[in-house]
Amino acid sequence: MESSVGKRIKGLRKELGLTQGDLAGDQLSRAMLSLIERDLTTPSLRTIEYLSMKLGVSVGDLLGEVRDSSLPIATAEDVKKGLNICKTLLKVGKYAEAETRLQELVKIDNVPFPEKWLAYKLLGQIYEKLDKNENALAHFKESLYYLSSTDTNEMVEAYYYITLTNRKLENYKEGIEAALKASALINTYHAEVDCLLQINILYNLALCYCRIKEFQKGLDVINQAISIMEKNDITFSNGHFYMLKGLAEMYMRKFAEGIVSTRAAIRFLQDKNEDPYKYLGSRINLGILLRKQNKVNQSLEQLHDCLEDALKMGNKNLIVNTYYELSLSYLYLEDFDRSEQYIKNGLKLADPNSHLHAQCHYVLGKVLMKRGQHEDAIHEFDMAETIFHFLQNESWIALVKSEKGICFETLEDHEKAFKNLLEANQKLLKQDLKLISTELPVMS
């Protein structure tokens, strides 16, 4: 090991692949760290303690005590040092290095349970950051085995991550179950859980309810979260909650309430200017809601503004979504030329076999149907149906089949008309689905 404290710090930092900015963090300036590493200033004991924690070594290591680094982590102190290193690596995005160290750590038999829990939690967080959500979920679940009944806060945190990863995996019912367990722990044991963590739990719970079309339960959770935020003067996620609230109200056909909620979402998201995607998405939702209230001119004005901003932003999904909604608004006005123009623009840009691609084929079919071009309309409906089959979206398949049935009936092909209408009704009955409105967005 190098003879000076500064050189030892620099050597350990480079060994971990950290920059000076990574190591300095929020308690030490990068300039000061540079002076320390070049031995141009002597660090205080407090600074030594801070750096030793971030580097995962002891104060003695930094001061020059000899230690064989080839020895495996064995003692409780060594385990804590290793975890500190991994937390630093995770914080600065060095996921591969942190994963390797943590995988070695969890294999050690004599690791105390609190440290074992933390190791599995950190592994779960790494996989969640890397979108390896199945691995993340397995490690978050494993972390629960190392918690006792008195570790309430840690259990709440684990259930939050289980909820989050289940939501990402579209396991919505499992996500709801985990979020309800977290909420029960908070309410039953009066745990002093961080308020932001509780709000994040409620957001994921509300979103999972909406995903399975339990919109009223979703609204109840959203209102609970908004009440907590108002009580604690928290505004960081109000826009997301009001956006979800407006969507839920839209699906419940509470259009007037949805407009109020969506305008609130736009106001909060605009003030924060942190999530332009959701901000513009909320404005598109407002255009839909205005159309649903027969304020079609206002809807078109809103959607044209959204299209201009989406084109500037260069976000393909938002551009396609806006083309789709503009086409529907012009279809509502029976301006078939403009409706066809915008939906064809959407078809050119939409990702093949995506939900929006199928929706665009469906709307083009509707336009052609209105024009009396029923054979061409059936072709577009067939294209949409093929994609919805691939996506296993039974409600949209039923909707497409019902429209095809009407086309075949107009063409006096009564056998195909009956077949499509029968299949549409069978799917609705089998799935216990309600015929959806084509004017509602995909819940996102």
pLDDT range class, residue 431, cuts 50, 70, 90: low
Helices 215-231 and 195-211: crossing angle in degrees, nearest 10, is 160
pLDDT at residue 70 greater than cutoff 60: no
Is the Cβ–Cβ distance between 74 and 105 less than 8 Å? no
Q: Any residues with CB less than 8 A from the CB of 76 and at least 6 apart, and which?
A: 112, 115
Q: Residue 443: what pLDDT? A: 40
Enclosing H/E stretch for 428: helix 414-431
Q: Which of 295, 299, 324 is nearest to 310 (CA)?
A: 324
Enclosing H/E stretch for 247: helix 238-251
* Distance from the first to the final alpha carbon of the chain: 53
pLDDT at residue 207 greater than cutoff 50: yes
Dihedral of alpha carbons 441, 442, 443, 444, sign: negative
In this structure, what DSSP letter does residue 421 have? H
Q: Any residues with CB less than 8 A from the CB of 415 and at least 6 apart, and which?
A: none
Q: Any residues with CB less than 8 A from the CB of 422 and at least 6 apart, and which?
A: none
> Mind listing the pLDDT tens digit for each residue in 31-42?
888 888 888 777
pLDDT at residue 11 greater than cutoff 90: no
pLDDT at residue 74 greater than cutoff 60: no
Q: Residue 330: what pLDDT? A: 95
Q: What share of the chain is helix, strand, coil (3-state, %, to 5)?
A: 75, 0, 25
User: What pTM value is reported for the model?
Assistant: 0.78
pLDDT at residue 57 greater than cutoff 70: yes
Average pLDDT, the chain: 87
**Six-digit token pair at 313?**
């932003």
**Which CA distances in Å does 222 have to 128, 236, 243, 255, 285?**
24, 15, 10, 17, 18
Q: Which domains does the chain have, with CATH numbers?
A: 1-71 (1.10.260.40)
Cβ neighbours around 367 below 10 Å, total: 25
Q: What is the mean pLDDT of residues 106-125?
A: 88
Cβ neighbours around 14 below 10 Å, total: 11
CA-CA distance, 153 to 292, in Å (whole number)? Answer: 44
CA-CA distance, 56 to 33, in Å (whole number)? Answer: 17
Provide the CB-side half-sphere exposure for 390 (13 A, CA): 12
Lowest mean pLDDT among 103-117, 125-139, 152-166, 332-346: 103-117
Dihedral of alpha carbons 44, 49, 50, 55, sign: positive
> Mind listing the pLDDT tens digit for each residue in 270-313?
876 667 888 999 999 999 999 999 999 999 999 999 999 999 99
